[in-house]
Amino acid sequence: MKKKCFFVILILASVWVSNLKAAGNKNLLPRPKLVVGIVIDQMRVDYLYRYYDRYGKDGFRRMLTHGAVCENNMMVHLPSYTAVGHSMLYTGTTPSINGIAGNNFVDQKTGRDLYCTADSLVKGVGSSSSAGCMSPRNLLASTITDELRLATNFRAKVISVSLKDRASILPGGHCPTGAYWFDASNASFITSTYYRATLPDWLVKFNNENHVRKLLTGMWNTLYPIETYVQSTADDSPYERPYLIGQRPVFPYSLDSLFVHKGAEIIKSLPAGNTLTTEVGIAALKGERLGCGDQTDFLAISYSSPDYIGHQFGPNAIETEDSYLRLDQDLAHLFAALDHQVGKGNYLVFLTADHGGANNLDFLKDHGFRVNNFDVRAIEKALKEGVKAKFGVDGLLRGISNYSVNINYEKVKENKVDLAALKDEVVALAEQQDGMAYAVDMQQIMTVPLPAVIREKAVNGYNRAHSGEVLLIPQPGWYETFGNAPVTGTTHGTWHPYDSHIPLLFMGWGIQPGHLYREVHAVDLAATLAALLHIQMPNGCIGVPIPEVISTKMK
Positions marked active-site: 82
Distance CA 38, CA 303 (A): 8
Please answer whether residues 173 and 143 qualify as being in contact, where contact means their C-beta atoms are separated by less than 8 angstroms: yes
Distance CA 44, CA 499 (A): 7
Nearest in space to 320 (alpha carbons), one of 363, 366, 372, 279? 363
Neighbours of 490 (CB within 10 A): 26
Distance CA 413, CA 408 (A): 9
Instruction: For 417-433, give the secondary structure using H, E and C.
Output: CCHHHHHHHHHHHHHCC
Cα-trace Rg, the chain: 25
Distance CA 536, CA 498 (A): 32
Q: Is the peptide bond before 306 cis (omega within 30 degrees of 0)?
A: no
Please answer whether residues 490 and 359 qualify as being in contact, where contact means their C-beta atoms are separated by less than 8 angstroms: yes
**CA neighbours within 13 Å on the CB side: how many for 108?**
15
Neighbours of 431 (CB within 10 A): 13
